């Protein structure tokens, strides 16, 4: 069985990395795009190594590694908040039922 080599455009790679950084799971993004997971991870690593050009002299753009770390942290916080919300819903329903 021969291996099929696919070539991706630079724009596709950039969009895929942007989507992966915004999504909760890089693996899920790779699967949805039809890209091997390892390939998407390597694209992210390549972008981490490159410096991001500054948009203006007054605004510094954070590096990709910092954005990835912040994205992971925010997803964890969101998951915790959602879990707490579900617990509070159940508690409110329980107390409302027993208040009668």
Q: What is the pLDDT of residue 57?
A: 41
Number of domains in the chain: 1
Residue 20 lies in a domain: yes
In angstroms, the CA 75 to CA 63 distance is: 19
Residue 3 lies in a domain: no
The model's pLDDT over 11-49, given as tens digits with 9 standing for 90+, comes to 888 888 888 888 888 888 898 889 999 999 999 988 877
Q: Which residue has the higher pLDDT, 98 or 79?
A: 79
In Å, how far from its chain's centre is CA 3? Answer: 29
Is the separation of the CB atoms in 68 and 74 below 8 Å?
Answer: no
Residue 4 lies in a domain: no
The model's pLDDT over 67-90, given as tens digits with 9 standing for 90+, comes to 888 888 999 999 999 999 999 999
Residue 1 lies in a domain: no
């Amino acid at each position: 069985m021969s291996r099929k080599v696919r070539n991706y455009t630079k724009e596709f790679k950039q969009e895929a990395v942007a989507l992966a950084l915004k999504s909760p799971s890089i693996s899920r993004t790779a699967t949805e795009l039809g890209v091997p997971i390892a390939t998407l991870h390597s694209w992210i690593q390549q972008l981490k190594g490159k410096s991001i050009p500054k948009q203006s002299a007054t605004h510094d753009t954070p590096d990709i590694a910092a954005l990835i770390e912040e994205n992971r942290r925010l997803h964890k916080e969101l998951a915790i908040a959602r879990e707490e919300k579900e617990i509070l819903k159940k508690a409110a329903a329980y107390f409302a039922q027993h208040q009668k």
